[in-house]
Amino acid sequence: MPRKIIILSLLISALFAGVAASGQQPQPAAKLAPQAPAPMTAEKIKDNIYWFKGGVMANGGFCIAPNGVAVIDAKMTPEGAKQMLALIKTVTDKPVTHIILTHSDADHVNGLTGFPKGLIIVSSENTKKEMEEAFRDEKMAAYRDYLPTVTFTAGPAFVLPGLPAVKLMTFGPAHTSGDSVVYFPKERAAFVGDLVFLGRDPLIHRQKGGTSFGLVLALQEILKLDADVFISGHNDPETKADILGELKSIQEKQAKIKDLIAAGKSLDEIKTSFGIKEPAAGGRNWPSLVEVIYLDITEKRF
């Protein structure tokens, strides 16, 4: 027997002898317990504008206006919404009068029932349609009292009565069919919902009319804003450089996928070339950005 194999065999024998002598058996690796979300805090952006950091799922925010407070997005749960209200009270004694929704995803609207009824709820027209569709489910019946009461469409920026310092705009289907930007010109700040994702590919909901080419157009419009701080749904505040990086990454993928389609490559072949693997059983099965771009091109959704 070669000398190296003899030495290796002796080391393995000694290891198991040591375990037996101590009365212990080799143990499987312990599973890590899921981490609790960080406590929610209200962080000042500029002047009377704040964002909610931490808590369950998506970020939110609020602005203090002369006659009240406008909340931006509603968190994932009613409990999260109540935490938002409690944090607002630590900053101002003015009442919440408005809720502005950037889009219809559950982690941005399912906290609505934690707010008092009768508030002015604002969204794009398409976001309201998506919410109406979701709230037809009898499990969501309690949310029907929280449908948007004021809506707007693409075109010139919409200005809410009572909130003249806020401009609302939607640029067409992108992450969903009705994504909105909440823009504060004086403070040069904007809440952009899930139009911006950093550190990962953006998520696009095709079932809600989302499209990668629409997202490119929306990001280009956001970059035109006279703003230097952007608050998205799942990152700390960003800069224009951050958004430009996301835009370029999407455009590069679109160009490469166009070339691969022209070369006759299938979706599976294209996904393999990008290292895209199928999710594990029981995992989230959202289409990757690569798949969305492929479908946008082949179905001519741009």
Tens of pLDDT, residues 89-127: 999 999 999 999 999 999 999 999 999 999 999 999 999
**Which residues, in sequence order, are bridge partners of residue 147?**
none
pLDDT tens, position by position, 129-171: 999 999 999 999 999 999 999 999 999 999 988 888 899 999 9
Residue 302: per-residue pLDDT: 74
pLDDT category at 14 given cuts 50, 70, 90 is very low
DSSP state for residue 98 in the 8-state scheme: E
What integer pLDDT is reported at residue 244 of this predicted model? 97
Residue 2 has pLDDT above 80, yes or no: no
Which domains, ranges and CATH numbers included, belong to the chain?
41-245 (3.60.15.10)
Tell me which residue has tokens 């508030």.
Answer: 119
Percentage of the chain beyond pLDDT 70 is 86
The answer for 233, left when phi > 0, alpha when psi is -120 to 50, beta otherwise, is alpha
Quick count: other Cβ atoms within 10 Å of Cβ 177?
23
> What per-residue confidence (pLDDT) applies to 29?
42
Q: What is the dihedral of CA 214, 215, 216, 218, to 10 degrees?
A: 90
Q: Exposed, middle or buried, 101 (CB in 10 Å: 0-12/13-18/19+)? A: buried
DSSP string over 121-168: EEEEHHHHHHHHHHTTSGGGGGGGGGS-SEEE-SSSPEEETTEEEEEE
Beta sheet of 49-53, edge-to-edge order = 41-46, 49-53, 60-65, 68-72, 96-100, 120-124, 150-152
Helices within the chain (DSSP H only) = 3-22, 78-89, 106-109, 125-134, 212-224, 240-262, 267-273, 289-298
Whether the CB-CB separation of 69 and 52 falls below 8 Å is answered with: no
